[in-house]
Amino acid sequence: MPQGTLRRVSRRTSGPKRSNFFAVLETRLNEVLIENTELSSAALEEFYVCKRLVAVPPDNRDALVRRVPEDIRALAEGFSDQDARVDALELDFIDFLLTYKANRILSVIGSVGVGKTTFLRYVLRSLRAECVSLRPYVPVFINCVALASPHPNYSDLLFEIVGSIEHVFLGKKSGATTNGTPDPAIDAEKTQSLSLEYRQLGSSLRSASDIVEFVQRLTQVCQAGCEPVVIFDNVDQLKPEVVADIVALARSVHLRTGLCVITAMRPATHSTQVELQRGNGAF
């Protein structure tokens, strides 16, 4: 390049002044990437990336598309590759929910920040809000990051579960449902009564069987054909001995209730638990 065409880099924007665009972008990215129970379904859909590298051959994806109901198939087939709303990972998870009737303990594995929580919320909140075939599966998120201690007791777990059903089932906080109203899959009055009963019991609940009993009673407030999906999220944020207790509790909840139970954790934590449990408690 001739010397006469060289230009000095402008320093007019090198000071502390921030770009308004990046200030807004940073806020929205934080809403998605940092744990935030107030995140709305609209925000999830805006940032969730469906089309990504997966270890699923195209013919397997096509087979899954043929197995899922029409409303989900439309989201997988009705868009270009760049705009796909449902792809291989979503299809596999949805197929698990709809098809598997035994051994319904699912481990969602991924490194920190890879999007395990976003994936689960995208399917069980955003897609569920618009797909009739997913409406029977009401998510109950137990966020282990939100627990008051890295050594939580069963009362702490119950407090988080009760808060989750009030958030998702009863729509007590913004973003819990698409319109801020109780979830139609449950009996709101019975759910409110159950929630108040267990809040009053508080610290008197001291065993895993109390949690299992609560989940059993939770199934009774669901409308016919509907069921809770119990999700233990961010499990590996707890101490190793507590993680083992959570995995055992997840297996017990499934065996006692037959419900789908999901645990989300890092690969190393999952491998350790599979070894400790001799392969039980993970699908």
* Residue closest to 49 by CA, chosen among 86, 80, 76, 97: 86
Q: Is the pLDDT of residue 249 over 50?
A: yes
Q: Which residues sit opposite 229 in a β-bridge?
A: 139
Q: Which residues sit opposite 107 in a β-bridge?
A: 263
Rounded to an integer, the average pLDDT of 237-255 is: 88
* Residue closest to 230 by CA, chosen among 199, 189, 258: 258
How far is it, in rounded angstroms, from Cα 24 to Cα 225? 42
Phi, psi of 95 (to 5 degrees): -60, -40
Q: Tokens standing for 47?
A: 């940032």
How far is it, in rounded angstroms, from Cα 223 to Cα 112? 36
Rounded to an integer, the average pLDDT of 19-26 is: 70
Q: What are the angstrom distances between the C-alpha of 10 and each of 3, 13, 21? A: 18, 7, 19
What pLDDT sits at residue 175? Answer: 38
| 167: amino acid identity, one letter | H
pLDDT digits (tens, 9 = 90+) for 25-81: 776 776 666 555 556 666 677 667 776 666 677 788 888 899 999 999 988 886 555
Q: How buried is residue 244: exposed, middle or buried, by Cβ count under 10 Å (0-12/13-18/19+)?
A: middle
Q: Which residue has the higher pLDDT, 200 or 90?
A: 90
pLDDT digits (tens, 9 = 90+) for 261-272: 999 988 888 788
What pLDDT sits at residue 69? Answer: 93
What pLDDT sits at residue 82? Answer: 53
Domains of the chain and CATH, by start: 101-276 (3.40.50)
Task: Give the β-pairing of 261-265 and 105-109.
Answer: parallel
Q: What are the angstrom distances between the C-alpha of 236 and each of 82, 155, 159, 177, 249? A: 33, 19, 19, 28, 15
Q: Is the pLDDT of residue 217 over 70?
A: yes
pLDDT digits (tens, 9 = 90+) for 163-190: 888 876 666 553 334 445 778 888 888 8
Average pLDDT, the chain: 78
